[in-house]
Chain A
Amino acid sequence: MSEEIKSTKVMDLKGLPCPMPILKVNKGIKEVEIGQVIEVWSTDPGSLSDFPSWARTRGHEILKTDQNGEVTKFYIKRLV
């Protein structure tokens, strides 16, 4: 059931408020190949809504969202 997601790159964006997480992620995803996954750590509560909006608009896929206390981990697959 709990399949391990293999991420190519980890981005620690803890402590960064809007709009930085989305700007950084947009840059970071271009640094992996199509099909690879980035793991993003964010403490910005807005990210919970912003990352899905960004992913839908840019055509990427959020495989998993792990909320653990203040930190949320997003696993985003580069699709385009």
Chain B
Amino acid sequence: MQNVEAKIEALQSQITAMEKKIPSNKISMIVFSGDMDKVLAAFVIATGAVAMGMEVVMFFTFWGTPILRDKTKKTGGKDTMGKMFGAMLPKGTCEVKLSKMNMGGMGTAMMKSLMKKKNVASLEQMMKMAEEFGVQIFVCEMSMDLMGFKREEMIDYSGMSYCGVATFLEQANDSKIQLFI
């Protein structure tokens, strides 16, 4: 009898351990690209995932980081490299380009007007919706530092925080879907 009880206990703890291994109904995305089309796709998936009942976390790193800058915000105290990166990289969503057929900006402008005509939501609108839906955004601290971005120049987005690789991996480990865009 004692033997049976011990076995049940062992089974119970096994079940608890297994339950911990089941990932949440969550999707983790790395947004590495800074291209308008790719980031738009990321936000379409993000908002769609919320509609499908999933929790969504997005990690912005490298070329994805400048998209989260606010054009209207100014910061001082940058070094030469920081100033250079700051000037050369897009300042927010309005300056991002297509990954293909940009043609000196003409392609992007054409795509934007076509999107408007066809009622396709813009990147700005998608980001606003993502915020409304509670999509969490994490920004890679290392990219920020590397490109000399300051937190004061980033957009106001509720649910945005700064992190490193371990935060992403913890979230990804607890997600059913992981994407790298």
Q: Using CB atoms and an 8 Å cutoff, list the residues of chain A in contact with chain B.
A: 15-20, 22-23, 25-26, 54, 57-58
Question: A18–B44 contact, CB under 8 A?
Answer: yes
Chain B residue numbers with a CB within 8 Å of A18 are: 44
Write the chain A residue with the least CB distance to B54: A57
Complex formed: what's the CA distance from A15 to B47 in Å?
Answer: 19
The residue that B48 contacts in the complex, of A15, A17, A22, with Cβ under 8 A, is: A22
Question: B47–A19 contact, CB under 8 A?
Answer: yes
Write the chain B residue with the least CB distance to A58: B53
Question: B119–A15 contact, CB under 8 A?
Answer: yes
Chain B residue numbers with a CB within 8 Å of A57 are: 52-53
Q: Within B8-57, which residues are at the interface with A (CB < 8 Å)?
A: 44, 47-48, 50-53
Measured between C-beta atoms, what is the minimum distance from B13 to chain A in Å? 32
Measured between C-beta atoms, what is the minimum distance from A46 to chain B in Å? 11
The residue that A19 contacts in the complex, of B51, B53, B118, B119, with Cβ under 8 A, is: B51
Write the chain B residue with the least CB distance to A18: B44
Interface bits B107-127 vs A (CB < 8 Å: 1, else 0): 000000000001111000000
Write the chain A residue with the least CB distance to B52: A57
Q: Using CB atoms and an 8 Å cutoff, list the residues of chain B in contact with chain A.
A: 44, 47-48, 50-53, 118-121, 129
Measured between C-beta atoms, what is the minimum distance from A11 to chain B in Å? 14
* Interface SS of A by simple majority: helix
Complex formed: what's the CA distance from A22 to B121 in Å?
Answer: 13
The residue that A17 contacts in the complex, of B47, B50, B119, with Cβ under 8 A, is: B119
Question: A23–B119 contact, CB under 8 A?
Answer: no
Write the chain A residue with the least CB distance to B53: A58
Question: B118–A26 contact, CB under 8 A?
Answer: no
Complex formed: what's the CA distance from A22 to B46 in Å?
Answer: 12
Complex formed: what's the CA distance from A54 to B47 in Å?
Answer: 13
Chain A residue numbers with a CB within 8 Å of B48 are: 19, 22-23
Chain B residue numbers with a CB within 8 Å of A23 are: 47-48, 50-51, 129
Question: A54–B121 contact, CB under 8 A?
Answer: no
Question: B119–A16 contact, CB under 8 A?
Answer: yes
Closest 9 CB pairs of A and B: A26-B51, A19-B48, A22-B51, A19-B44, A57-B52, A23-B51, A17-B120, A15-B119, A58-B53
